[in-house]
Amino acid sequence: MKILILGAGYVGRRVADTLREAGHTVWTVRRTPQPDDPFAIAGDLTRPESIHLPGPVDRVVYCAGLQGAALEDYRSLFVEGFSRVVSWVKTQGTIDRMLFTSTTGIYSVVDGRWVNETTEPNPVREVARCYREAEQLLEGSGLAHVVVRLSGIYGPERCRWIRLVREGQARRLPGSPRFMNHIHVEDAARAIVHLLHHPEPDSLYIASDHQPVDRNELITFLAETMHLPTPPFLPDDASPPLGRGGNKRCDSTKLRESGFSFRFPTYREGYTPLIRL
């Protein structure tokens, strides 16, 4: 196949590498493409008319992401810009599937309950609302599409919890469990590739590993694996508010039932090799 990846960052570039290794032709679009990549195209995702393709493509992956950006940047990329991208994809004529990477952040759950593809999205944070608006744009576009809601991505160069434990900054929290949901970046990329190849995919999947983990359990595991003291508890009156992930457990059964197998099924398999880096 000929595949176009819009947004070739932390996840997108791994999707491109995996597809190329399988023999597909893959073009990637970024504002500043890698200079040594002959299939990299310079383009602004908020202005799809700036993207000049060397030929027709069969499938498109919209895998853009932002970190530490202002709300207006998210709205520009995932609402105004994404709307123009969807319209542009519809004019191409050859594209038979579009895949969009969204976020499990659209579930604003705070009581630790399980969520899956049938759970009604209820985004509270403005950034999460931008992702949900993008999903709805795609749902109403008439395009054959797949939305993949990714949980917290970690991997090489994204090892925040390892760093906090190693530097003695991590603290356990008193009270009831606060669940975290993860997916290793390699599995995130592999799940996208899997759904690009799936002969009859559904339109929505959650991509998160098998085992949501209580924050205290995670940092205790990391400390033990690094042969460090178990991080102490914060005082009862000093617990921070819930973070952007809320407190929920993401169920990826549907993705696994589609034939996908995780290389890093839990945080244990994923974090242990990263500790040695």
Query: Which fold, 2-155+181-212+249-267?
Result: Rossmann fold (3.40.50)
Dihedral sign, Cα of residue 64, residue 66, residue 71, residue 76: negative
Mean pLDDT, residues 7-27 taken together: 95
Comparing CA positions, the residue from 108, 139, 72, 96 lying closest to residue 2 is: 96
pLDDT grade, residue 68 (50/70/90)? low
Predicted TM-score of the model (pTM): 0.95
Mean pLDDT, residues 59-64 taken together: 95
What's the start-to-end Cα distance of the chain, in Å?
A: 35
- Please report the pLDDT score of residue 37 as a whole number: 78
- Please report the pLDDT score of residue 189 as a whole number: 98
Per-residue pLDDT tens over the stretch 158-175: 999 999 999 999 999 999
User: Is 244:109 a contact under the CB 8 Å cutoff?
Assistant: no
21 or 67, higher pLDDT: 21
Q: How far apart are CA 226 and CA 107, in angstroms?
A: 33
Per-residue pLDDT tens over the stretch 215-270: 999 999 999 999 999 999 999 877 888 887 899 999 999 999 999 999 999 999 99
Exposure on the CB side of residue 13, measured as CA atoms within 13 A: 8
CA 138 to chain centre: 17
Q: Kindly tell me if the per-residue pLDDT of 62 is higher than 90.
A: yes
Q: Kindly tell me if the per-residue pLDDT of 207 is higher than 90.
A: yes
